[in-house]
Amino acid sequence: MSSMPETVTCLRVIVNRERQTFDIQWSDNHACSFPLDGLRRACPCAGCQGHEKMHELPDPEIFHLPALVRWENVKVEVAGSVGLRLTWDDGHNSGIFTWERLRAMCPCR
Ligand SMILES: [Zn+2]
Ligand SMILES: [Zn+2]
């Protein structure tokens, strides 16, 4: 996993329900825009990825697949200094997306 400089922090997170994107603005001016359905598929918990795979980055292809589900009620909480915990419409909230992981998964690359 590529690491990001310690000094880079997340400035804000926007769940755009209309566009179905999850947008992160970073302090180094980089912005990531994830499709919500792709991000749901990328949930890093053991239940979604399996124990062996949960520490690996997902295949970037998952962010380019057509969305199967519209997500209307995604809640975002800060999980300490680690990253973000997302609660999805289906109630699933076991995955913590670390800052490093979010940054490394950015679909712009
Ligand atoms: Zn999960
Ligand atoms: Zn990016």
Span 38-59, pLDDT tens digits = 999 999 999 999 888 777 899 9
pTM for this entry: 0.90
**pLDDT value at position 1?**
47
Q: From the CA of 50, how far away is ligand 1's center (Å)?
A: 9
Q: From the CA of 48, how far away is ligand 2's center (Å)?
A: 24
Portion of the chain with pLDDT greater than 90, in percent = 83
Query: What is the spatial order of strands in the sheet that 83-87 belongs to?
Result: 75-79, 83-87, 96-98
Q: From the CA of 79, how far away is ligand 1's center (Å)?
A: 15
Question: Which bin fits 50, alpha (ψ -120 to 50), beta or left (φ > 0)?
Answer: left
Q: Of residues 109 and 79, which shows the higher confidence score? A: 79
Q: Where are the domains of the chain?
A: 10-105
Which fold, 10-105? Answer: NE0471 N-terminal domain-like (3.30.2020)
CA–CA distance, 94 with 84 (Å, rounded to integer): 11
